Amino acid sequence: MSVRMPKKTNVSSSLHAIREVRTSWPSVTWDVLQQHPVELDFREVERALDGVRDRQAWLVVVVRSSRVVPIYPFLAQIQSAGFDCVHLLSCDAAAYVMTLAAHHPERAMEGFESALARLAADRTLVGVSSACDEREVVRWWQALMEATAASHWNVFESSAYSQGRRELVPLHEEDRTRLITRAVTQLGDRGYEGIASVVEDLFAQLAERPTKLEDVAELCAQFIMAAVGQRQADGRDRMLQVPISTRQWLRFVAEECPKWWDWRDKLKQALMVVLGREEAVRTAHSAQIGQVIEIIERHYDSDLDVATLASQVFLSPSYLSKRFKSETGMTIREFIVQTRLNKAKDLLLRDFHLKAYEVGAHVGYPDPTYFNKLFKRQVGLTPKAFRDRAMRQARGFKQEDSRSS
């Protein structure tokens, strides 16, 4: 028997659904990112909760990664931190639901965060429910909903995991209409550059006011279709290369586990494909300068110099330097530094397993002293201080949110 659990549910309806399927293993879906129903035995969950020893609390963790999760090394590491895994549900090779028990969950969470560093090597979304000492299956289901919502929230946070009872806000119809209208207007007036500015503003707002993933996915699809309409038949040939529906955008999130800035860049890239690279280059910069920018963004970690770049666009180094400065407002060296440091910021906030000097090496600065000096001069903080500040802000936000809830 196949039963679809309600996405939003109260205690009584959950209990009724669970009682209905208690004699069988149902196929359930509860997450908009879930690609296929998952077999779940509620009797097994009930036995796991019954096995939690007295005075022990438990919580639910949802982990979704862009690659196969090394689950057993991860479980061994969190066990040493004080957690026991009493129930493990595999949604697929890259998504798991774990029920963890501990005498002191707050202390164990410190070790849990360090264990996530191994998973952070790839994009990973992690949500954690609040701790509970009840033994009811209905309460477990509620904790699963809470952890799933937290994993969605993690898209908009730079921290390794998100925790607590927080709901992403829906996108109101008037806001959707306003954004689409602005995108279409900017697309008509300024082409790619105009709609790209709308995308930048949109995701900056989402970082401040996290919105339901399905609503963001639908809006992204509508942006793409607006661009397709602008290009008409020419754009339709490119539709096969980009996500053009809400379902395809949600699949992208499920498979790539992006943070909000990755999602933003994916949408901008898709718009460039639909509009045609020549349209994006012609609107934002001349063809040759656009090509130089693309080379720098693709090979930012390599040794790049003006002579090499000039030879690839068939210009003299001096003329390229003048043209680049005129069109971008920066020298080529300044643009390379900015591109590298922007990438360094992303790595510092996303890949917690990397030391600051390793981040420097990844972006083209193998000398740790020089990387620290350059980063501090441009950003105002050392790489370590930049990451520590972001972590403190994330923890402070979590504490404030938990107090308000």
**Would you say residue 220 has pLDDT above 90?**
yes
* pLDDT at site 388: 83
* pLDDT at site 343: 87
- Can you give the residue ranges of every domain in the chain? 11-163, 173-284, 296-398
Over residues 73-100, mean pLDDT: 85
Pairing type for strands 162-163 and 124-128 reads parallel
**Would you say residue 167 has pLDDT above 70?**
yes
Instruction: For residue 227, count other CB atoms closer than 10 A to its CB.
Output: 28
CA distances from 330 to 294, 312, 327, 334, 337 (A): 15, 20, 8, 6, 11
Over residues 67-72, mean pLDDT: 77
**Would you say residue 233 has pLDDT above 50?**
no
Query: What is the CATH topology of the domain spanning 11-163?
Result: Alpha-Beta Plaits (3.30.70)
For residues 64, 69, 73, 77, the Cα torsion angle rounded to the nearest 10 degrees is -20
Mean pLDDT of the chain: 81
Q: CA angle, corner 349, sides to 223 and 266, nearest 5?
A: 20
Q: pLDDT above 70 covers what percent of the chain?
A: 84
Pairing type for strands 57-65 and 84-92 reads unpaired
Q: What is the pLDDT of residues 174-219, one digit of tens each?
A: 999 999 998 888 888 778 888 888 999 999 889 888 999 999 999 9
Measured CA to CA, the distance from residue 220 to residue 248 in angstroms comes to: 10
Q: Are the CB atoms for 139 and 53 separated by under 8 Å?
A: no
Segment of 233-242, 291-300, 367-376 carrying the highest mean pLDDT: 367-376
Residue 337 — very low, low, confident or very high, per pLDDT cuts 50/70/90? Answer: very high
Token pair of 401, please?
């949110």
Residue 393 — very low, low, confident or very high, per pLDDT cuts 50/70/90? Answer: low
Would you give the DSSP letter of residue 103?
A: S
Classify the phi-psi angles of 232: left when phi > 0, otherwise alpha if psi is within -120 to 50, otherwise beta.
left
For residues 109, 94, 160, 51, the Cα torsion angle rounded to the nearest 10 degrees is -10
* pLDDT at site 211: 94
Residue 24 — very low, low, confident or very high, per pLDDT cuts 50/70/90? Answer: low
**Would you say residue 32 has pLDDT above 80?**
yes
CATH annotation of 296-398? 1.10.10.60
